[in-house]
Amino acid sequence: MILAAETNEGLATLSNELVYASMAVYTLAFLAHIAEWVFGSRSKVGRTAAALTGAKGAAASAAVPVQVKGAGGTTVLDRPKVVTRSAAGTRDVPDGPGAAGGTVKGDLYGRIAVSLTVLAFALEAAGVVSRAIAVQRAPWGNMYEFSTTFSTVAVGTYLGFLVAKKNVRWIGLPLVTTVLLDLGLATTWLYTESDQLVPALDSYWLWIHVSTAIFCGAVFYLGAVATLLYLFRDSYENKLANGGEPGAFARSVLERLPSAASLDKFSYRVNAAVFPLWTFTIIAGAIWAGDAWGRYWGWDAKEVWSFITWVGYAAYLHARATAGWKGRKAAYIALIAFGCFLFNYYGVNIFVTSKHSYAGV
């Protein structure tokens, strides 16, 4: 019995050390992403030369004939020109070259940043698993555990997009910055010693309800980053379209992002994809509440703000399908909905007394 307790205590200590190690590596990844943006910033002459080179390459590619075999022989056709259209009523603007700016040095630092992010993710995930083994339960019984698991899932989702060959490396810098802030709060302000669950949480529904809430929050976060960048990029494109001259910093940074249409599409798709799972999260929580407290819905603060978050994202999805509310108006609703999610996590857990007050701080 004593040996088991010492083993669990050792695992809890190991978990803390792994989380701190991941923070050190995330810091290196943050610096590498900064270097990617800095060295990917090219002079106006360099950008013009790259644009001309790209145009010549596209023209050469378009000139290559395509052979089509038919029953009566072979027909030679010109290679069709592929144009990606944005949503109706928006501009057809090409995506930027990414944080690396199309430069070799910038791309090198970007690859280093991704490699460091993978290493930090592995260390943090190992810390979460060690904590789970130490406490012999799901590792999200308090805000410290929730925060470390949340950032792990957020980074894992981002890396999953990269593995799927999605052009999302532009998320890297804001993601790593947020993860460092999240872990900084978790290890200082929110830290709680490993302990057993309060009776209301000691249920298999903890694995179902909280795990889906963590995943939904991680995806909502990625959608919120894309939505915020969409607003900046859309303003940048509007200024250019109206003959304005953006500042050097805005031109250097914003011109390398995906187009406003691409950012808007990405945020909509991830929010729409995870919204049904958020609906399930609320339903699972209600079932759990019925088992733990004998009622499915009691208008507790956590329940209310979970529902408000659901209404916010439902309003966003409805706005996307409503004429006159697409674009910036819908983006504002999405950011408000994510703000409700954040308040539901930090505000309700810390500042509001409720049945869900498991902050441990």
Hey, is 67 helix, strand or coil?
A: strand
323 burial class (0-12, 13-18, 19+ CB within 10 angstroms)? exposed
User: Going by C-beta distance under 8 Å and a sequence separation of 6 or more, which residues neighbour residue 117?
Assistant: 26, 29, 155, 158, 159, 172, 176
pLDDT at 119: 98
CA 228 to CA 90: how far, in whole Å? 18
Q: Give the max Cα distance, the chain.
A: 85
Give the closest residue to 228 by CA, choosing from 185, 256, 257.
257
pLDDT tens readout for residues 157-173 = 999 999 999 989 999 99
pTM of the predicted protein model:
0.83
Tokens (6 digits) for 61: 């590619």
pLDDT at 324: 76
CA 296 to CA 279: how far, in whole Å? 15
For tokens 């088991």, what's the residue?
A: 4
The alpha carbons of the chain give a radius of gyration, in whole angstroms, of: 24
Model confidence at 226: pLDDT above 90: yes
| Mean pLDDT, residues 276-294 | 91
pLDDT at 278: 96
Query: Around Cβ 68, how many Cβ atoms within 10 Å?
Result: 10
Higher pLDDT, 44 or 288: 288
pLDDT band at 235 (very low <50, low <70, confident <90, very high): very high
Phi, psi of 49, rounded to the nearest 5 degrees? -65, -40
pLDDT at 42: 64
Higher pLDDT, 347 or 275: 275
pLDDT band at 359 (very low <50, low <70, confident <90, very high): very low
What is the separation, in whole angstroms, between the first and last Cα of the chain? 29
Higher pLDDT, 323 or 94: 94
Which residues, in sequence order, are bridge partners of residue 274?
none
User: Going by C-beta distance under 8 Å and a sequence separation of 6 or more, which residues neighbour residue 72?
Assistant: none
Hey, is 70 helix, strand or coil?
A: strand
pLDDT at 211: 92
Model confidence at 200: pLDDT above 70: no
Model confidence at 140: pLDDT above 60: yes
pLDDT tens readout for residues 41-59 = 864 434 543 554 444 444 4
Model confidence at 22: pLDDT above 50: yes
pLDDT at 272: 96
Model confidence at 232: pLDDT above 50: yes
